Amino acid sequence: MIVIMRIGCSQDEISRVTNRIVDAGLRVYIPHGVERTVIGVVGQAFPGLRDALESLPGVDQVIPVTKPYQLASREFHPEDTIVELDGVTIGGSEIVVMAGPCAVESEEQLLLTAQAVKAAGATVLRGGAFKPRTSPYEFRGLGERGLRILAQVGEETQMPIVTEVMAPHDVDLVARYADILQIGSRNMQNFVLLDEVGRTRKPVLLKRGLSANIQEWLLAAEYVLVQGNEQVILCERGIRTFENYSRNTMDINAIPIIEKVSHLPIIADPSHATGKWYLVSPLALAAVAAGADGLLIEVHPNPDMALADGPQSLTFDNFRLLMSQLQPIAEARSRKLAMPAVRVNP
C-alpha cells in the first residue's frame, strides 16, 4: 500500500500516518526522488487499514500495491537503484562487465585472467571459491584459499571482486574478502541465506533460480531488501526449458520486464544461460541491446583445461572480440561501457 499525502500537508499529519502504520505492526518506507510526500506500507496489511489511513487528515489517497513484492517494486521506489562500488556504478548510465573464471584454480590462473579481462575493458573480477556442483565428485572450489587469492588479485589489478556464498555460516567469511556477494541460482530461494546477506551491507548479486519465475525472483530480492540491504543486483542466467541444444534458455524478456516492474539493476550471464562458448557473445550483445545494466562472463586462459565450466568459457581473444562488439550496442542504447580503473603510481 502507498499513502499519498496532500501537497502542503503538515509534519504532524505525516507523523500520524506513520504512527498508525507502525501501530499496526508494519513498517514505513519513504521513497526518495518523488515530488509529493509518499509513504510506503511494508508488510502484510490487515483489511480495513486502507480505510483507516485514508480517513486521516492530510492523506490524499491510498493506493494498493498490485504486486506481492513491495520494496523491490517500481511502484514503491520509482527511481532506479544504483549500486556503488569503489569506482564502479551498476545500474547507472554505464554498462558494467564482470568477468573471470568459473572457479578460482590458482593464483597464476586468476591473475592472468584478471589482467586480460581488465585490459579488454572488464571492471569487476569474478571467480568462484565455493562452487555449487551438480555432482559431489566435481571440483568444488578452493574455499577460503580461493577467497584469499581473489582478494589479492583484486587488489593487485584494482578490480572489485564478486564471488558466491553458498551457506549462511559462510556469509561473514566471504564478506571479509568480497566486494559483491553472489547468491547462486540454486540458492535463490534459500531464505535463511537471503536473510543473512540482507544483514550485511555488501551489494548482493542475486541470480535467478533455475526454474524461478520473475515474481519468485523479485520476492527473493525482497528478502534481502527487507533486512535493510538496498544494494541488490539481479542477474538473469537462463532458465530450464524443454530446449536442450543449450544448457539453459536465456530469458531476454526478463530484462525489459524487470526494468518496468522493479528499480533494481539487472545484468545478464550468457555463460550459464547458454553453456556453450560460441553462444556467449551473441547473447551478451542481445542482453545489452535489451537494456541490461551489465554482463557476467566466464573467461579462462585455457578453457579446455578448466576445472569448471570450460565449454562455456571464453578465451582471452574471444573476450576481447566481444568487448569490441559491445561498444556500438551500448551506444545504440545511449549507454557507454564502464572504464577500468587506472593505477596511479605514487
How far apart CA 45 and CA 280 sit, in angstroms, is: 44
Among Mn ion, ligand PEP, none, what does residue 247 contact (CB within 5–8 Å per kind)?
Answer: none
237 contributes a contact to ligand PEP by CB under 6 A: yes
> What is the pairing mode between strands 27-29 and 180-183?
unpaired
x/- string (CB under 6 A) for ligand PEP, residues 80-119? Answer: ----------------------x-----------------
Q: Which window, 169-177, 182-190, 310-318, 329-337, contacts ligand PEP (CB under 6 A)? A: 182-190
Closest distance between ligand PEP and the C-beta of residue 298, in Å? 7
Stretch that binds ligand PEP, among 15-23, 31-39, 179-187, 330-338 (CB under 6 A): 179-187
Q: Which CB, 188 or 219, lies closer to ligand PEP?
A: 188
DSSP 8-state symbol, 167: S
Which of 276, 279, 273 has its CA nearest to residue 322?
A: 279
CB of 43: closest distance to ligand PEP in angstroms?
30
> Quick one: 21 or 166, whose CB is closer to ligand PEP?
166
Instruction: Dig out the grid coordinates for 314 from the structure.
Output: 571464453
Q: Which is nearer to ligand PEP, 45 or 273 (CB)?
A: 273
Taking CB under 6 A as the binding criterion, the range among 55-63, 65-73, 181-189, 194-202 that sits at the site for ligand PEP is 181-189
Please, what is the Cα angle at 128 between 125 and 134, to 5 degrees? 145
Query: Scanning residues 252 to 311, which ones bind ligand PEP (CB under 6 A)?
Result: 269, 272
Stretch near ligand PEP under the rule CB under 6 A, chosen from 38-46, 109-117, 139-147, 184-192 = 184-192
Closest CB to ligand PEP among 102 and 338?
Answer: 102
* Residue at shortest CB range from ligand PEP: 184
Where b means 16+ CB within 10 Å and e means fewer, 67-91 reads bebbbbbbbbbeeebebebeebbbb
Q: Which of 112, 162, 154 is nearest to 306 (CA)?
A: 112
Q: Which of 40, 184, 265, 270 lies at the binding interface for ligand PEP (CB under 6 A)?
A: 184
Instruction: Locate the DSSP E strands across the chain.
Output: 2-5, 27-29, 38-42, 59-63, 83-85, 88-90, 94-100, 124-126, 161-164, 180-183, 204-207, 232-236, 266-268, 294-298, 336-337
The closest alpha carbon to 17, from 31, 28, 8, belongs to 28
Of the candidates 45, 83, 102, 288, which one interacts with Mn ion according to CB under 5 A? 102
Start-to-end C-alpha separation, the chain: 54
Which candidate, 159, 156, 165, 215, places its Cα nearest to that of 195?
Answer: 165
309 in contact with Mn ion (CB under 5 A): yes
Distance CA 76, CA 25 (A): 19
- Please answer whether residues 298 and 334 qualify as being in contact, where contact means their C-beta atoms are separated by less than 8 angstroms: no
Least separation in angstroms between residue 109's CB and ligand PEP is 15
What residue ranges bind Mn ion (CB under 5 A)? 102, 309
What residue ranges bind ligand PEP (CB under 6 A)? 102, 128, 132, 184-186, 207, 237, 269, 272
